[in-house]
Structure 1
Amino acid sequence: MNIRKIAFIGLFIAIEIVLTRFLSIQTPIVRIGFTFLPIAISGIMFGPLFAGLTAALADFVGIMLFPTGGPFFPGFTISALLTGLIYGLFLYKKPKSFWRISLAVLVITVFVHLGLDTLWLWMLTGKGIIGLLPARIIKSLIMLPIQIITIQVVWKYLSASLGNKFSNEPPRAKAS
C-alpha cells in the first residue's frame, strides 16, 4: 500500500466523520446527510476491501471521538463495512454509469439501511420493526435519487481533476 492511498483513506475517514457527526440531521430513527459520499468515492478509487475498511474505521473512530449517547454497537460498524464493500464491488474498475451507481445505491439502501440497520435499531431500542420502517422507507425514497446523482456528479468532477491516476475504468474499444 502506498502513501498516496493511505493519505486518501485517512482523508475519507475524516470527511465521513465530519459529515456524520456535524453535518447530518439526526433523529433516533433516521440520519439524513451526505455521509455516503466519501465511502462511495473510496469504493470507486480503491475497491471493496479498502472502502469497507475505510467505512468501518470511520464508524469506529467517529463513535469513539464523538459518542452519541449510547454505548458502541458493532452492528452499525458491520453495516458500514458492508456499505463500503458493496460500493467497491459495483464501482471499482467498472464504468460509473447511471445504472451501475443506481444498482449499488439500491442494494445498500434495501439490504443494509432498511434491512440490517433497522434490525440493529430494533435490537437497541426494542421498538417494533414495523414501527421503525415507515420513517426509514420515506427517508430512503428521498435519499435514493440524491445519492445516485451526487455520486455521479462528484466522481465526474473528481476524476477530471485527478486525471488518470485514479481513473480505473476499463479501456474502451475504439470504433473502426
Structure 2
Amino acid sequence: MNNSSSKTKKMVLAALFIALQVVFARMLSINTPLLRIGFSFLPVAMCSILLGPLAGGIAAAIGDIIGATLFPTGPFFPGFTLSAFLSGALYGLFTYRRAPSFISALIPVVINNVFVNIVMGTFWLSIILNKGYIALLPGRVTKNLLLIPIEAGMIFFFWKYVIKPNEARIV
C-alpha cells in the first residue's frame, strides 16, 4: 500500500472514531449539568491505540468541538476541548504500539479520571457554573473512581479481543 493510501485510510478511521465519540457522548450517555456517564471514552481510546497519541488527541478534540456544536448541552468551553485532547493523547501514550495488557489500559484511565476529569473538569465546571470547586467535587470524585475499573476493563477487552486480532486489516 502506498503512503497516500495509508494516510487516507488513517484519516477515514479517525473520522469514524470521531463520529462514534459524538454519538456515544451526545446520544448514548446520561447527561446532567455536572456529570456525563457514557462510553465516549471507548472510541477515543481505540483511535489512540491504533493511530497514536497525537492522532487520538486531535480526534478527541475534534469530536468534542463537533459534539458541542451540533448537540450543545451547555455553553461551549475550550477547557473541555483541551481535556478531550489530553485524554486521547494519554490513551495513546500508554497503548500505541504496545501489546495489550490490563495495566497499560489502567494507567491512562486512572490519570484521565483523576487528573483530567476530576481536577481539570471540575475546575472548568466551577468556572462555567460559577460555583465553588470543592462543592462540585463529591459527585464527580465518586463517579470517576467507580468508573475506573469498568473503563479499564472495557478498553483492555476491546484492545485485546477486537483491535489486536484485526489490527493488520484495520490500519
Kindly indicate whether residue 59 of structure 2 is the aligned counterpart of residue 54 of structure 1: yes
The CA distance in 1 between the partners of 2:37 and 2:120, in whole Å, is 17
Structure 1 match to 2:166: 162
Structure 2 match to 1:142: 146
Note the C-alpha offset of 1:157: 2.4
The CA distance in 1 between the partners of 2:167 and 2:22, in whole Å, is 27
Note the C-alpha offset of 1:73: 0.7
Kindly indicate whether residue 136 of structure 2 is the aligned counterpart of residue 132 of structure 1: yes
Residue-by-residue CA offset, 1:62-109 (whole Å, 9 max, x unaligned): 1111122x3211000000000011111111112221111111110111
The CA distance in 2 between the partners of 1:67 and 1:163, in whole Å, is 34
Q: % of aligned pairs identical? A: 45
Q: Which runs of 5+ in 2 are unaligned?
A: 1-5
| Structure 2 length-normalised TM | 0.92
Residue-by-residue CA offset, 1:95-152 (whole Å, 9 max, x unaligned): 2211111111101111100111010000001111111111001101221111011001
Change (3 A) 1:66 1:163: closer
Structure 1 match to 2:95: 91
Kindly indicate whether residue 104 of structure 2 is the aligned counterpart of residue 104 of structure 1: no
Structure 1 match to 2:18: 13
What is the SS of the residue equivalent to 1:2?
helix
Give the number of aligned pairs: 166
Tell me which protein shows more helix as a share of its residues: 2
User: Larger Rg: 1 or 2?
Assistant: 1
Runs of 4 or more consecutive aligned structure 1 residues displaced over 6 Å after TM superposition: none
